[in-house]
Structure 1
Amino acid sequence: MGVLQALVGVSEKASRVARLCRGEEPLCQLLVAEKTGPERNSRFQRDFKTLADVLIQEVIKHDLGQQFPELQGHIHGEESNEFTTAQGATVRVQVGSSPGDTAATLRRVLEPHHEAAELLAAAAHRAVTLHDATLATVELNIPTQDIAIWIDPIDSTNEYIAGREDVAPVEGVAPEGLCSALVLIGAYDRRTGCPVIGVINEPFFRRHPETGRWQGRYHWGVAYGETRLCSLNPQSSPRPTPRVVLSRAEGAAVQGALRPLCGEHLLFAAGAGYKMLCVILGLVDVYVLSVGTTFAWDACAPHAILRAMGGGAVALAGALRARREGDKGVPPQLVYNRPDDGAVGAERWVNRGGLVAYAHPQHLEDVLEALATAPGV
């Protein structure tokens, strides 16, 4: 199995675990631990880590490390694998050599819910078979010893915990809700930091019309050297008026600068990964974020897919500074191998300059021009 197929396979297993955890409402409430200290995302008053997050991350690390030993030590995730139980004990969650070993660890977290621990352990060890003829034919010449992995086990964790299913989409974009909870797995070049493979899995894409069970779907892209492959077809030509998606917390100055450009097509959504997915799917053309509240694990996977489709992701602050200094060149792409050595914890990997993710270079230029000339941005 090649590395692309392996990444898709572990994303499918991760999605199964995410669905299993959300399928039991009492269990979902038990699986929440508040982040504190350097792990905490300063954007939120409360930022949560669930056992699903931790277990999914460790499943991905375990499975990829087993298949590709050269990746061991180069698979990074958002979460610490230490989980604090309701009783205050700290458990290091790991995938063992057998379902029994993994269940023994999970029982300590889930006490006294032993049946739940057994179910999660079984899901963590259950083999995944991909019935995807197109994916099976893809052969890549990417040396695995040259890449590293970023995992966001459940992007938009707060929406995952809340579990809202009744949110009506606006022009195809869900403002919030369970559908914005995604599994993101991105590979980047260790030397350059350039994203080269991205997999996005939507565990809660839709419910089966007869069984009512959640069904997922996945998307992938490869941008390595001259190779550009993607499970989706890019738009043939850009829209004359770009659609832009923002965070609901985006400042008034940015919104005011973009409204003349977008008109009524200024949309809002939760989750950085979901907003980038909206660009990938063609629901919008650009995602703009003016503050440093996204991280390497949020952006790596969708950025790789955007590159495969002819788009990309750049730091907003740097691009605006260059424009205002007269540099009209193409801004440099975000990279994923450069921590901020002046920061600690998760903040080492924050995208401090904000970001702009785009499908078409022309729309990037339109957005940067609108923002560079606006007061207060």
Structure 2
Amino acid sequence: MNLPRPAELQAFEQLQLDKKAIGVWVDPIDGTAEYITGNRDPEFKPGENISQNGLPNVTVLVGVYEKATGQPLIGVINQPFFSYRRWKVKLGTYLCESFEILTAPGAGYKLLCVIDRLCSAYVLSKDNTYRWDTCAPHAILKALGGGVVQFKGLLASDLSPGKRDQSLREQQITYHKSEPKANGSNAWCNAQGVIAYYDQEVLLALAEHLSRK
């Protein structure tokens, strides 16, 4: 059976890129430890996680970025078995009046939840995600009007109306430079933590609340 190809795919096939000007980050299995062992997120609490059934992982994440600027350009995320999953959002711990905390395993999977608008944002203050985790989802969120910013950098930024846009641009994670004074895989960790979002107003509301903590 020959099925019609979506217009987006046809446009993508006509896209011309200078291969020398781009880099690629690949994560073959998101949430590797949980995927291999079949374990749930260690912070899992019944009633507070996004997915109640099925395999809460994506598998391959492929992110393409521009070498000169580090800006994410293309993101491909493969999520298996999605038609068998039942989604629920249960009442969790309130972060503030407008937010509640939910849990899910795997950085790529959490980011996919933001892309699919199953949650408003992914907030991580720790340095335990890497460029290969965030590049592909970042490209997709950027195309949707969102992004992935540095957690600590954003909270230290001037988010007043006149400086807001510049600060958000400066705090977007880039993918072409390693972390200073770091070795091995740690050279490519997101050292300042991350906040992924699809709506700038949600990001600003989160930043305002977190800056008061």
Normalised-by-shorter TM-score class: 0.7 to 0.9
Deviation at 1:164, TM superposition (A): 6.3
Judged with a 3 Å threshold, the aligned counterparts in structure 2 of structure 1 residues 170 and 186 are, in CA distance, closer, same or farther, namely farther
For residues 198 and 64 of structure 2, the distance between their equivalents in structure 1, rounded to whole angstroms, comes to 20
For residues 367 and 190 of structure 1, the distance between their equivalents in structure 2, rounded to whole angstroms, comes to 31
Which residue matches 1:297? 132
Alignment of 1:173-188 (within 5 A): 173-174=50-51, 178-188=55-65
Judged with a 3 Å threshold, the aligned counterparts in structure 2 of structure 1 residues 293 and 302 are, in CA distance, closer, same or farther, namely same
Judged with a 3 Å threshold, the aligned counterparts in structure 2 of structure 1 residues 132 and 274 are, in CA distance, closer, same or farther, namely farther
Which residue matches 1:133? 5
Which residue matches 1:200? 77
For residues 77 and 124 of structure 2, the distance between their equivalents in structure 1, rounded to whole angstroms, comes to 20
Q: Percent identity?
A: 40
Judged with a 3 Å threshold, the aligned counterparts in structure 2 of structure 1 residues 168 and 347 are, in CA distance, closer, same or farther, namely closer
How many residues align? The count is 196
For residues 193 and 138 of structure 2, the distance between their equivalents in structure 1, rounded to whole angstroms, comes to 14
TM-score between both structures, scaled by the size of structure 1: 0.47
- 3-state DSSP of counterpart to 1:137: helix
For residues 101 and 53 of structure 2, the distance between their equivalents in structure 1, rounded to whole angstroms, comes to 15
Judged with a 3 Å threshold, the aligned counterparts in structure 2 of structure 1 residues 323 and 337 are, in CA distance, closer, same or farther, namely same
Which residue among 18, 22, 36 is the counterpart of 1:161? 36
Judged with a 3 Å threshold, the aligned counterparts in structure 2 of structure 1 residues 279 and 259 are, in CA distance, closer, same or farther, namely same
For residues 159 and 193 of structure 1, the distance between their equivalents in structure 2, rounded to whole angstroms, comes to 29
Kept in 1: contact 2:49–2:102 (CA 8 A): no
Q: Does 2:206 match 1:367?
A: yes
Which residue among 148, 151, 157 is the counterpart of 1:322? 157
Q: Does 2:187 match 1:348?
A: yes
Deviation at 1:295, TM superposition (A): 0.4
Which structure's relative contact order is higher, taking Cα pairs within 8 Å and 6+ residues apart? Answer: 2
For residues 320 and 136 of structure 1, the distance between their equivalents in structure 2, rounded to whole angstroms, comes to 38
For residues 297 and 177 of structure 1, the distance between their equivalents in structure 2, rounded to whole angstroms, comes to 24
For residues 313 and 160 of structure 1, the distance between their equivalents in structure 2, rounded to whole angstroms, comes to 24
Which residue matches 1:259? 96
TM-score between both structures, scaled by the size of structure 2: 0.80
Unmatched 5+ residue regions in structure 1? Answer: 1-129, 208-242, 247-254
Unmatched 5+ residue regions in structure 2? Answer: none
Judged with a 3 Å threshold, the aligned counterparts in structure 2 of structure 1 residues 342 and 163 are, in CA distance, closer, same or farther, namely same
Judged with a 3 Å threshold, the aligned counterparts in structure 2 of structure 1 residues 328 and 187 are, in CA distance, closer, same or farther, namely same
Larger Rg: 1
